[in-house]
Chains A and B, each alone.
Chain A
């Protein structure tokens, strides 16, 4: 049971923490249409995370509610990948982070609908429609950022060079993931990885951008070892429930 919850939380935490970053960007977009689109992605991701947290609370059966997972866990108990907690340095960073994650999500959830686990299957069906659109949107943006002006190409290549070191953590199975894959419940990451690379190469080619070579990869998020960013995210997110633990909102 603990392994399963751990696995569920990895998925939910990826969605939640990325949605947090996107939420920070509300009213900071380059134009109104983009601001609205960005918020739609954030809302989709919170929705996915919330469904999974509620299920975690249910199967755990210890009287916790779904919100206790985002709001009352410590940093080391969050299992999201390092990529999604990286800050919004500029629009290029936001979009590169989004594209790399969307591509992962698309193939990940596409595999998830084959899971033996009925709950994951249902989440997969719900999420796949949303992440299909997310990937379409961020792919279009990558091409416009890379194949538009020279300035934009430079900024986007820099974002890619900076964030690439966090991109392979998706495919390094954690203990929970290995166990769940063996059980026929978890998503086979090798399958996702091959498809992901193909998609990323295709779009980056069209965007006149290149994958950084031989870059050392950082990971640890899935084991609860995060970058310094997550502490600040949680401090902010958990402020009210931490300060007023008895209050209901």
Chain B
């Protein structure tokens, strides 16, 4: 075949017409460099979040109060690891290795969701994380199933399907505790008080202040804005809280005439401090990940060497 190489303008036009027609972009397709860079950043951040997200819950596996809850928690954390793995794989189709992504995480060049920099202090936190943190994540991920990058979209479809039990198990824990003793009710309310605002912050800054949103929306990497998703989340979640007798810790919460809710001001100073590394658990989470990675170096090495011998 001898064809004249298309110009960059032609490639871009073709790319944009695919996006406009709701076609997916696949790894071997031409894509603008900014699109690739945005995906590298967003998908790897998403992958890191899943993996770092194993830690706050992992903190309670050995203390789970029943064998049933222990199995569920283990299976859930295992899913988080699996979802990190799917996402790293999707991110690797962009030409960057998993090892490189992990290195960027360790060097502080890549972020993960700040919500995991908060501590899991009592058993109800496991309920609150499943119900609120997974609930918020799912709201975002359902939307991302329609993202324009094929491997990311397919990973999201699989993840949404598998995570369908995560929110339910969390809410079930909260519900059982609210039906339980006074101690349990207090733990549940305490967990909601601590996780509510970090969960709302998970959707990111307001649309008018979000640097990364505009291109991402134009290229259909993101399909709904931070504020739209946050509203969806609170409208679903507040009635669930009230149903089991929990009080949402927002003195300025308003129920509007159309049945939707308007939340009070989010403490963005806190948000940015945690993003910058000054949250309660930032250091601990990253050190844990580095330590596990470093301790595993000799294992990966011997598996590699043994693999060569096998060929």
A residues with a Cβ closer than 8 A to B are 20, 23-24, 26-36, 39-40, 42-43, 46-47, 49-50, 53, 66-67, 70-71, 90-91, 143-145, 147-149, 151-153, 155, 233, 236-237, 239-241, 244, 246-249
Contact = CB atoms under 8 A, between A and B. Distances in A.
A67 B82 CA distance: 29
B296 A43 contact: no
Interface of B is mostly: helix
17 contacts: A30-B293, A34-B296, A34-B299, A39-B74, A50-B68, A70-B67, A144-B306, A147-B309, A148-B306, A149-B302, A239-B63, A246-B181, A247-B65, A247-B181, A247-B184, A248-B176, A249-B177
Interface in B269-311: 288, 291-293, 295-307, 309
Interface of B: 51, 54-55, 58, 61-71, 74-75, 77-78, 81-82, 84-85, 88, 123, 173, 176-177, 180-181, 183-184, 288, 291-293, 295-307, 309
A36 B67 contact: no
Contacts of A47: 71
A232 B184 CA distance: 24
Contacts of A153: 302
Nearest to A95: B299
Contact of A67 (B66, B176, B299): B66
A35 B70 CA distance: 17
Contacts of A46: 67, 70-71, 74
Given A29-B296, A31-B296, A144 B288 contact: no
Contact of A43 (B71, B176, B293): B71
B74 A36 contact: no
A112 to B, nearest CB: 21
B181 A244 contact: yes
Contacts of A236: 62-63
Given A29-B292, A53-B67, A20 B62 contact: yes
Contacts of A28: 288, 291-292, 295
B298 to A, nearest CB: 5
A101 to B, nearest CB: 18
Max chain A CB contacts within 10 Å: which of B81, B82, B85, B304?
B81
Contacts of A147: 306, 309
A127 B88 CA distance: 33
7 tightest CB-CB pairs across the interface, nearest first? Answer: A30-B296, A148-B302, A152-B302, A148-B306, A240-B65, A30-B299, A144-B306
Given A23-B70, A241-B65, A247-B184, A152 B58 contact: no
Interface centre among B61, B292, B301 (most CB of A within 10 A): B61
Given A32-B85, A247-B180, A27 B54 contact: yes
B85 A42 contact: no
Nearest to B82: A36
A145 B300 CA distance: 10
B189 to A, nearest CB: 15
A39 B305 contact: no
Contact of B65 (A91, A246, A249): A249
